Structure 1
Amino acid sequence: MMKRIITALLTMALIIPAFQTASASVNPTDQGIDERFGLPILVLGGNLNDAQKQEVREMLGASDPETVEEVIVTGEDLVRYIEGEDSSASMYSSAKITREESGHGLVIERVTPENITQVTDTMYANALLTAGIENATVEIASPLKVSGHSALTGIYKAYEVSGEQLDTARLEVANDELNLATDLAEEEGIDQEKVSELLAEIKQAIAEQNPATREDIEQIINEQLSNLEINLSEEDRQRLTDLFDQMRNLNINFDNVSEQLNDLSTAIQDRLSDVVNDEGFWQSVRDFFQGLIDAISNLFGGSEEETINES
């Protein structure tokens, strides 16, 4: 047993620096503060302790207080934006928001994807476009495993701090959309990127067809479910119809972000393709590390870390 663990650890020591080097090579060069938009805004989850907050600052490259504007997001903020939520909700996931010029698009990066367990980059992008947020770089991180939902509230607060007035009705619909997306992935067992593809394709169809009634919305949803070969329960079909009928009633014009929806759809397709093409390789990587974790756990009696379900 000990020989196997030592061999695995030595192998891991060779693998990890290779990943770190590859990751470092794709980081963009710091080009300074864009004075048209002011400082990037760092939003820290209110339930983090001081040590965890500092860890997040380092994760998001925001340790220098002169280069970011820092705010804290709490459950009190959640209930201000989303009616009916709980002010005692846990707020751990944090974000740095950098406003960008028109045409840049919405770029989402989970800096710690291993700790944001339910919400993907494309789920965040879909919800934020619904909320009316575009042309920004949003980096999301957490020092511990969380669902990732509270980051959305933090992003809303960042825009409020920057002086932009967001439509609270759209914020609530965006919040409902994110909850539905994670529910479909968790409860229906649909791949997370496939869920994001479904939502993006429905929005594009709405932009093209301009549906006038709930029945029109229902038809669009059924067409996209068929096109993507997704089977949903009648209850979840109704939840989708309710969600997009709300958007129709709010007169959300997806024509305004059609280019960003196209970019999002392309990104989703690329990720789905990567998953298919690399499934064998990544399964072997997962198997290797799972075997290593199991071996160490058996040796030292360790236990799995639980995920915090944020509101």
Structure 2
Amino acid sequence: MKYKILLLLVLTFSFLFPSLSFADAAPGDVIITLGEDLTEEEKQAILAEMNAPENPQIVIVTNEEEHKYLGQYIPKARIGNQALSSASITIGEAGSGLDVTITEQITLITEEMYANALITAGVKDAKIYVTAPGNVSGTAALTGIIKAYELSSDQAIPEEVKQVANEEMVETTKLSEKFGAEDASALMAKIKDEIAKNAPKNDEELRTIIENAAKELGITLSEADIQRLMDLFNKLMDLNIDWNQVGEQLNLAAEKLTNFLQSEEGQGFLEKLKEFFISLIDAIKGLFSKEA
């Protein structure tokens, strides 16, 4: 999963609210969010899984809070009636970036979706791990991370920012179901990057940006898709976003991936990928040989 999130960083690493940060937390500090409906045994198991430090800062998330922030975007049945998903947030050095890892128990929200929503909400420079005792949507963890951010930084995230962050996450989910998570995240990033370079002056220019970004990725958007994206990005542009900073952070992300690919770990990953394709080709050749 970490290779997927490294690719995601290139596609979506845009800090929309650079003035917000985990201001009162020092690098290395750990904040834990726990769903209120976990049993005591489940809480202890999750803390052990996260390798939580002794006496960590803990934020409790309620099911009511999940519905408050996500209820108008996600069907109530998918959110459920219990808050179970949990997260650990390790504060990173300034400029270290956002790194999200989820376990297989999180079934609705992907790493890409967490990253997109959290970036929009202003969360940055943190390593985030999301898990649960069983298969759940992951909405409690998303709500908890944003709540933990507010408490640790002693700064309230404006309500409209939370709403747009959640709306962006849900829109990415919809696009992911049609085009796959990577293409959906890439589309969002391309649109943001183009807005950073050439701010659209009207709806016609915004539509052109969206259509061109989709075309570059080989994605065919419906009129309904385009309209939803226009509505979303119009809301984003109405907020106080430093789009120059967005472009700069996208470039930083690309540089990070380049450094990774040149590293020993990155080269090992590429070698494994190469071996996989060689073995796949050999298997196909073997099938044809048997048929002959």
- TM-score, normalised to structure 2, is 0.71
- SS class of match (1:107): strand
Matching residue of 1:49: 39
Q: What number of residue pairs does the alignment pair up?
A: 242
Q: Which has the higher contact order (CA 8 A, sep 6+)?
A: 2
- SS class of match (2:88): strand
| 1:149, distance to aligned residue in structure 2 (A) | 3.0
Q: RMSD in angstroms over aligned alpha carbons?
A: 3.2
Matching residue of 2:118: 128
Q: Is the 8 A contact 1:83 1:172 kept in 2?
A: no
Superposition pairs of residues 111-260 of structure 1, within 5 angstroms: 112=103, 114-162=104-152, 163-186=154-177, 188=178, 190-260=179-249
Match of 1:109 among 98, 101, 116: 101
| 1:267, distance to aligned residue in structure 2 (A) | 7.9
- SS class of match (2:58): strand
Q: Is the 8 A contact 1:103 1:135 kept in 2?
A: yes
Change (3 A) 1:279 1:53: farther
Q: Matches of 1:185 and 1:199 in 2, distance apart? A: 11
Q: Matches of 1:241 and 1:176 in 2, distance apart? A: 13
Q: Is the 8 A contact 2:196 2:246 kept in 1?
A: no
Give the AA of the match of 1:234: E
Match of 1:75 among 54, 57, 63: 63
| 1:255, distance to aligned residue in structure 2 (A) | 2.5
* Structure 1, unpaired ranges of 5+: 1-33, 285-311
Percent pairwise identity: 39
Q: Is the 8 A contact 2:194 2:209 kept in 1?
A: yes
* Structure 2, unpaired ranges of 5+: 1-23, 281-292
- TM-score, normalised to structure 1, is 0.67
Give the AA of the match of 1:137: K
- SS class of match (2:32): strand
| 1:244, distance to aligned residue in structure 2 (A) | 0.8
| 1:123, distance to aligned residue in structure 2 (A) | 2.3
Q: Matches of 1:192 and 1:265 in 2, distance apart? A: 19
Change (3 A) 1:278 1:58: farther
| 1:261, distance to aligned residue in structure 2 (A) | 3.0
